[in-house]
Amino acid sequence: MEIEKTSESIRKKHRALKTGKIEDDIAVRRHLGPIIEPLQKTVDNSSMRAMKDEPDVVVEVPSTPKRESDVGLEILRAPKREKKNVIRTGIKRKLLRIESSDAPGAPTITSTPLTTIGTVQSPMNLPTEDESIFEITNESFATSVQREVQTPEAQLGPLGQKYIGAVIRGDKDIDNVYGVYLSNDGMKFGCKPFDVDYEDHIILDNVRYKGTPGLYELVFKRIPDDIVYTDDDLEKYRSMLLVTNAYRRDHSARG
């Protein structure tokens, strides 16, 4: 019983102390509230202004410039979808580097100008390259005709004028491989000099062959007209081939 009384007494004192403290707080707030509240608002406003006025601090992380080889490694390591972006980035980086070198503060690169060489003008009376070639060609043809055909061209027979003129003109139907052709030594047939006279006789290896339309067709044409030549023309043509080696490679007896 005494224990219960003691416990009850303690609880009453605790409630009394607690109630008194609460009542004291209420009394303080009631009397000092008009002073405390404006001070509290002033403190809160000053702290907010201090936070607004404080500048933002940006922490910069230094970046190491990538070398060209690093860009190449990025392209190799990047997935297929990202390779184009990596390439574009590398190009932009190069352009920025070029633009920065062209900036006003960049050092100016100077170079020594090249010496100007005056244009050398050829005299007006000098022949052009085409004219020179044309003149030399004409002279070589005229000279070769005079060397090849001992008879002047005006004195050639009709067959000589027709077929030799075709050789000089370079007609496509003329056989320049196994037939009559122009050389530095004159007109030749195989390995022998070739000549005609004013009667259209063919002179070959000091032998005079009677010139006929069929024999001229066989000697000069790549594809002779078989209606024109005869068996006698073929026999003469065969003997001419044997004498001149015209049917052999390089017109050589060993060919």
Q: What is the pLDDT of residue 124?
A: 46
Cα(184)–Cα(144) distance, integer angstroms: 8
Would you say 168 and 162 are in contact if contact means Cβ atoms under 8 Å apart? no
User: What 3-state class would DSSP assign to 227?
Assistant: coil
Q: What is the pLDDT of residue 9?
A: 74
Confidence of residue 80 (pLDDT cuts 50, 70, 90): very low
Would you say 203 and 195 are in contact if contact means Cβ atoms under 8 Å apart? yes
Q: pLDDT over 90 for what percent of the chain?
A: 20
Is 84 or 157 the better-scoring residue by pLDDT?
Answer: 157
Domain ranges of the chain: 154-249
Is 78 or 235 the better-scoring residue by pLDDT?
Answer: 235
Cα(183)–Cα(194) distance, integer angstroms: 11
Q: What is the pLDDT of residue 60?
A: 56
Report, as an integer, the average pLDDT of 17-23: 66
pLDDT at residue 163 tops 50: yes
Confidence of residue 103 (pLDDT cuts 50, 70, 90): low
pLDDT at residue 68 tops 60: no
Placement of tokens 């980086």 in the chain: 93
Ramachandran area for residue 6 (φ above 0: left; ψ -120 to 50: alpha; else beta): alpha
Would you say 235 and 227 are in contact if contact means Cβ atoms under 8 Å apart? no
Confidence of residue 210 (pLDDT cuts 50, 70, 90): very high
Half-sphere exposure of 114 (CA within 13 A, CB side): 3
Half-sphere exposure of 82 (CA within 13 A, CB side): 9
pLDDT at residue 179 tops 80: yes
Would you say 246 and 239 are in contact if contact means Cβ atoms under 8 Å apart? no
Is 167 or 104 the better-scoring residue by pLDDT?
Answer: 167
Q: What is the pLDDT of residue 235?
A: 92
* Closest among 173, 181, 174 to 251, alpha carbons compared: 181
Q: For CA atoms 201, 203, 207, 209, give the dihedral sign.
A: negative
pTM to 2 decimal places: 0.42
pLDDT at residue 173 tops 80: yes
Give pLDDT tens digits for 120-147.
444 444 444 444 434 444 445 445 554 5
- What amino acid is encoded at 30 in this protein? R
Q: Which secondary structure element, helix H or strand E, spans residue 71, and what is its range?
A: helix 68-77
Half-sphere exposure of 7 (CA within 13 A, CB side): 4
Q: What is the pLDDT of residue 42?
A: 74
Highest mean pLDDT among 43-57, 90-104, 118-132: 43-57
